[in-house]
Amino acid sequence: MAQDKPSPENVIRASKAAPRGKPSAVTDEEKGDKPNKKPTAQPHVPEDVRKRFVQVGAKYFFPDGARAFTDRGHRLTTPSENTEVIKSLVSIAHARGWNEITVTGTERFRRDAWHEARLLGLEVRGYKPTDVEDQRLIRELARREERESSARGRAPDRGVIEGARKTRNKEASVAQESEKQNRGTLITGRLLEYGRDTYKHEPSEALSYFVKLKTARGERTVWGVDLERALKESLSKPGIGEEVGLRAVQEEPVTVKARRQDGQGLQDVATHRNRWIIEKRGFFETRAQAASVLRDPQVDPKEAVRRHPELASTYLHLKGAEEVASKRIRDPEDQRKFVALVRTALADSVERGEPLQPVRLKERAEPTTSAAPRPPAREPDQTR
């Protein structure tokens, strides 16, 4: 019978020796020696941490008996990724005057420990944050500074606030550039979640709409007000857990309210809003096949429509383009170029998954039959 692998040990330790004046004793357990006759000084543990856990020697347990962490003096260890445990370990490190810590263990543990330690002003080794994580930290520090300043009745630290504002502006700029690069690109993945929320789940941001996917590169959340409409009008009606494709097909100019650069009030800002489509993955595969048929001028329209009935209206539009070319363009070669351009544009639209344009038929007079009642005869016009 195979034995279960032990949980990885997550560790926070002081990168450098603790400063003088701070309790920094090393336990006998860490040394591996036999107990000394004289007890070592008790390392400092904040009172709120002591109340949260049950202490038995160097070990701390949850009230239900599960091990939370072990205090080894200059090293704090835990098998857990629990948020409260991580906050407690960082709190202990801060209380002991560890200005710089080293974290080892799982990625999640190191990431969360880095975040909590940086909030308390500690330097951290062992984890390199992403740009998004750095930006999140700066925003959180700025909000904390504003709250504390408001509570104390003083002006907030402009350096912190300005740093957060620059970070938000940079983040917005990067997001817009990313949107431009990804516009038209099909994003595929398993649909995990969708709904309304404040932009990027930040309480201070405006209400928006999000779609969360599990892609080949990990989880990805796409934001856009138009996503709500795209889901409601979806032809294939995708549901949670299904493979879907998501694509921004065009942008529309809009005016929105945004915070002023000086932070005082809101102002109107001209920007753009993406128009999205979201369908089941198979829908886009079918559309790609139909577009391939449409691009081939050698395929007979009747055969193409037999294979892909959804192309009926598209071929009628193409037929209309051929008639326009024959009437308005004299050169046969220019006629062929014009029709080819129209064919390509229609095929691209079909492949992107955009709604197929309906055909507007000319109104025709209803034929009169013996069964249908005839309209009343008009009075003859009088000669003037």
Judgement on whether residues 148 and 221 belong to the same structural domain of the protein = no
Residue with tokens 């649909």: 191
117 and 18 within one domain: yes
Q: What is the pLDDT averaged over residues 181-206?
A: 80
Residues 277 and 328 in one domain: no
Answer yes or no: are the C-beta atoms of 146 and 204 closer than 8 Å.
no
Do 277 and 308 share a structural domain? no
Check if the beta carbon of residue 110 is closer than 8 Å to that of residue 127.
yes
- Structural domain includes residue 48: yes
pLDDT in tens, 9-31: 899 998 865 444 444 444 444 44
pLDDT tens profile 63-77? 878 889 999 888 899
- Which residue, 73, 103, 100, 74, is CA-closest to 86? 103
Q: Among 140, 156, 175, which residue terminates a domain?
A: 175
Of 283, 306, 333, which marks where a domain is finished? 283
Distances (CA, A) of 76 to 4, 18, 92, 143: 24, 14, 9, 30
- Mean of pLDDT over the chain: 76
Q: Do 83 and 23 fall within a single domain?
A: yes
pLDDT bracket for residue 181 (50, 70, 90): very low
Is position 246 within any domain? Answer: yes
pLDDT confidence of residue 38: 44
Among residues 283, 302, 327, the one where a domain terminates is 283
Residues 303 and 329 in one domain: yes
Residues spanned by the domain of 149: 131-175
Asked if residue 293 is part of any domain, the answer here is yes
Residues 27 and 86 in one domain: yes
List pLDDT tens digits, range 295-353: 999 999 999 999 999 899 889 989 988 898 888 888 989 988 998 998 998 888 888 88
Tell me whether residue 150 is in a domain.
yes
Minimum mean pLDDT range among 44-58, 63-77, 358-372: 358-372
Same domain, 60 and 152: no
Q: Which of 163 and 255 is assigned the larger pLDDT?
A: 255
Averaged pLDDT, 214-223: 89
Domain holding 224: CATH number? 2.40.50
Question: Are 27 and 62 found together in one domain?
Answer: yes
Q: Does residue 151 lie in a domain region?
A: yes
DSSP state of 161: H
* Residue predicted with more confidence, 149 or 38: 149
Percent of the chain with pLDDT over 70: 67
How many domains in the chain? Answer: 4
Asked if residue 225 belongs to a domain, the reply is yes
Both 32 and 100 in a single domain? yes
Give the DSSP per-residue string, 200-249: GG-TTSPEEEEEEEEETTEEEEEE-TTHHHHHHT-SS---TTSEEEEEEE
Q: Are residues 69 and 115 in the same domain?
A: yes
**pLDDT-based confidence at residue 169 (cuts at 50, 70, 90):** low
- Of the ranges 39-48, 187-196, 202-211, which one carries the lowest mean pLDDT score? 39-48
The one-letter code for the residue type at 363 is E
pLDDT on residue 383? 40
300 or 376: which carries more pLDDT confidence? 300
C-alpha 41/C-alpha 24 separation (Å) is 8
CA distance 114 to 123: 8
The answer to whether residue 5 is domain-embedded is no
- State yes or no: pLDDT of 61 exceeds 60: yes
Residue 372 lies in a domain: no
In this structure, the answer to whether residues 69 and 151 fall within a common structural domain is no
